[in-house]
Amino acid sequence: MEEDDSIDLSITRRNLLLASAASAAVTALPAEAQTSGSPQIAVEKVHTHKVTLQVNGQPKTLELDTRTSLLDALREHLHLTGTKKGCDHGQCGACTVLVDGRRINACLTLAVMHEGAQVTTIEGLGTPQKLHPMQAAFVKHDGYQCGYCTPGQICSAVGVLDEINRGVPSHVTADITVKPLLSADELRERMSGNLCRCGAYSNIVDAMTEVAGGVR
């Protein structure tokens, strides 16, 4: 691998964690993080990197500990606390945001992996004066109780309808040639990565059904 000062974009989270822990393996990191010739990784040192994200249409540049998840970057650094942390392990979906149009769990990705990406959080859907249609539908159908999973549910719901429109199949798609793929079972299946302990699932599906214009 060519040794240069720029960050290796193929770096994985696992490699970064190994590098910043006490490990002998040195992967390609920004030059300032490498100690010349020394085999010892200094645990005191914090590896940081600059990244610019397009968040809700605004460019945001951060200098971050490379271990900072996208979720923590949004919440702790950009103070966009609408996106929630429910598990930090990609198991609950409360941290769902839209990155370059696709829904992802923000806790399962590092901020520094998304240079230049378009990030849409719940704060970026609609405005205080004019709710996004999905937000309005959730209000109409009482698609929440405690509200903690709600931002993730709404971002995920927006992502789901887009996926269905693009013809992306799911586990319950019986025939991928039938269009549209929209059905109650499809909505339920695709939303099963967003846990709601208050049990508002039926209302959430009702809200999505309305935005989708009804289901077969």
Residues in 7-26 at the binding interface with another protein, rule: CB under 8 A: 20-21
CA distance 85 to 169: 28
Mark the segment that binds another protein (CB under 8 A) among 6-14, 27-35, 161-169, 199-207.
199-207
Among residues 76, 118, 162, 168, the one that binds another protein under rule CB under 8 A = 76
- Is 1 or 128 the residue whose CB approaches another protein more closely? 128
Buried b vs exposed e over 166-184: b needs ≥16 C-beta within 10 Å? Answer: eeeebeebeeeeeeebbbe
Q: What are 78's two structure tokens? A: 């950009």
In the bound complex, what is the minimum distance in angstroms from residue 117's beta carbon to another protein?
Answer: 19
Q: Is 108 in the site for another protein (CB under 8 A)?
A: no
Characterise 167 by phi-psi region: left (phi > 0), alpha (psi -120 to 50), beta (else). Answer: left
Pairing of strands 48-55, 118-120: parallel
- Is 1 or 171 the residue whose CB approaches another protein more closely? 171
Q: Is 194 in the site for another protein (CB under 8 A)?
A: yes
Q: Is 178 in the site for another protein (CB under 8 A)?
A: no
Mark the segment that binds another protein (CB under 8 A) among 1-9, 28-36, 112-120, 207-215.
207-215
Q: Which amino acid is at 117?
A: A
